[in-house]
Structure 1
């Protein structure tokens, strides 16, 4: 039986990645076609931590203790016997029984832009077509839950929806926990007066659009309708952290990444289908080890706390958590104490959503 007929084998993954148009080894359209054929799907939500720049897999998910490629970090034991992580993840190591690692992703692109496009859409870039990102595809395929946008991108832009249209675009959050100034009326405008303005705008737009088949008008109206619905929804508080206990915020880390993880948790608990949390600074051609130690100090408490909390609440079973980068970095350490681009084989972190836990 082939990997496509049964399970994702290492050989199927590497072969699929070499063919392009894949997500973690399988062509995306085949993954969608296979939904529910081997087991009942469980994931209702996705949290994707996108680490832009090409994160070193050797200094995170795939340590090489005792080898020339090891670098400055030691491998540490985890809650799963036989699985080790880099020492920069001491808290996450205690949650490894909820998580798994894929250490055999084979990419085809070594430039940031092309590799990012390939990993986030499953296609290579085309001059005349914009392919939708994974968040847009999830939004298109899964029914929306509640008033909040189905797809939210935090601390950075997500891939475009392409031919799937405006309704599948990501809602952008700049600073996690900050209120969006565009979702409230300007200072001095009362709620009553603001609502009256919105009603007049709706009537004007309806008259203008009558008999006009311009698709751009439909996309604009979709954006307006979504914004107004969001402005008036009590679920909007899922974007805010004012009521989060200080102890919880400190446990995740009072950083942009820690706040982003907390907001992502609140959003999926409120029904958001896909949340992408963006973090950069991983293009470590020089001084790789102090940079990765700093990244670990920020990412470790947030990711470990998120996994622990989702598991305790029972939400992890329905939420797929992924940490991924556009490629890995070379085993060889260069003369600047850095690692260079390495798409040949790299790793990612997964947890929840019905995936097998405690596996490599």
Structure 2
């Protein structure tokens, strides 16, 4: 079973546990039939790198410039390697990679509050007080088998949305400082490996005895966390997290800062088989001085994004790695009295590349001032459905919550067929 609902036994898991690997039904292999259930298409991608830009990134000052309009602001558009596609001057290096990339300029949001909008773009659902919906990274790690020793879902430089009813196994592994050795994946200073292993064995015996008399589901989650941590700390794949052997010029090319190192780490994690990597960056709530703020963001982001796209393409990994950049909403077309832009949910942009998505194209459009979706409006849920489809996941699939309530993986979204090559 590839799912993370380790607190219940499904019929699929029961069959798998009963030794049906060699069983057949009308001459067909049963596990193969089960694995194909709910899918009507083949996976075109294996990995996702999601850039989550917290605060509400200005669409007009990044991927949907409005030259010559009163709303256009101070940042000029520049041509890119994709014919007819322009983006903001803050991304000169990324502009050279746009033949690999696409932009959705017609995302029609509904939420102008940071918390509600972030929840929406993270889960496809609006918040509900009595239910914790899982984020898209948790959905992916729930639905797809793990590849290699590293966690299926890793979040960098910030926390990702919780796994909710999908369970502990689908929570993201947190990397606070990309490129640095994680001190929690080694025994403390002064504890030799032999002594540390004996402590772990003692902990395992104690937990096993205690869990035998207590059926609290939280104990299962705790055991899951410990088992995964021990397996990870003993894996040679941990070298992906450390940059001590990375050439200094490579680090400089990506940008020797948290964002650039996060991009480089994401590339290395894809090489190790990690399914979903989320890179977090805040500071986009630009109610004041939006133009110098966006120039500063561009100086940090441009080299990391461009190097990541280029290296994924050169290594052949871009075709099977879906790269997205999203924020919870856009910013107002009208520039306020403080030379800033305020919250604007009516339309915003999403950057998308790889994973058999058409390169060098723009999907949809906003109106001439960047105020509303004009052509081919896209719902937030449609982006989630598109991610699932490219990964071979049935976005309409229902999973059962601990309270026995069926929930769809995506809240009534439709894959964006015009983006898919």
The alignment's TM-score, normalised by the length of structure 2, stands at: 0.76
1:113-262 equivalences under 5 Å are: 113-262=115-264
In structure 1, how many angstroms separate the alpha carbons of the residues matched to 2:207 and 2:48?
35
Q: Report the counterpart of residue 285 of structure 1 in structure 2.
A: 287
Matched residue count: 326
Q: Aligned to 1:275, what secondary structure does the other structure show?
A: strand
Stretches of structure 1 that go unaligned for 5 or more consecutive residues are: 1-32
Q: Report the counterpart of residue 107 of structure 2 in structure 1.
A: 105
Q: Deviations over 1:21-58 (max 9, x none)?
A: xxxxxxxxxxxx98544xx3211000000000000000
In structure 2, the CA distance between the partners of 1:160 and 1:294, relative to structure 1 (3 Å rule), is: same
Q: Aligned to 2:154, what secondary structure does the other structure show?
A: strand
Q: Report the counterpart of residue 71 of structure 1 in structure 2.
A: 73
Shift of 1:211: 4.1
Bigger CA radius of gyration? 2
Q: Aligned to 1:210, what secondary structure does the other structure show?
A: helix
In structure 1, how many angstroms separate the alpha carbons of the residues matched to 2:242 and 2:180?
6
Q: Report the counterpart of residue 356 of structure 1 in structure 2.
A: 358
In structure 2, the CA distance between the partners of 1:35 and 1:291, relative to structure 1 (3 Å rule), is: farther
Task: Tell me if structure 2 keeps the 8 A contact 1:153–1:276.
Answer: yes
Shift of 1:210: 1.3
Q: Report the counterpart of residue 24 of structure 1 in structure 2.
A: none
Q: Deviations over 1:170-217 (max 9, x none)?
A: 001111112111111111110111011111111111111114321000
In structure 2, how many angstroms separate the alpha carbons of the residues matched to 1:241 and 1:85?
32
1:316 aligns with 2:324: no
Q: Aligned to 1:349, what secondary structure does the other structure show?
A: strand
Task: Tell me if structure 2 keeps the 8 A contact 1:35–1:41.
Answer: no
Q: Report the counterpart of residue 18 of structure 1 in structure 2.
A: none
Q: Report the counterpart of residue 338 of structure 1 in structure 2.
A: 340
Q: Deviations over 1:250-280 (max 9, x none)?
A: 1111010000111111111101100000000
In structure 2, how many angstroms separate the alpha carbons of the residues matched to 1:329 and 1:305?
27
Q: Report the counterpart of residue 32 of structure 2 in structure 1.
A: none
2:45 aligned to which of 43, 58, 61: 43
In structure 2, the CA distance between the partners of 1:75 and 1:36, relative to structure 1 (3 Å rule), is: farther
Q: Aligned to 1:159, what secondary structure does the other structure show?
A: coil
Shift of 1:97: 0.5
Q: Deviations over 1:93-129 (max 9, x none)?
A: 0000000000000111001000000010000001100
1:275 aligned to which of 261, 274, 277: 277
Stretches of structure 2 that go unaligned for 5 or more consecutive residues are: 1-36, 363-421
In structure 2, how many angstroms separate the alpha carbons of the residues matched to 1:159 and 1:148?
19
In structure 2, the CA distance between the partners of 1:106 and 1:280, relative to structure 1 (3 Å rule), is: same
In structure 2, how many angstroms separate the alpha carbons of the residues matched to 1:255 and 1:158?
20
In structure 2, how many angstroms separate the alpha carbons of the residues matched to 1:358 and 1:340?
30
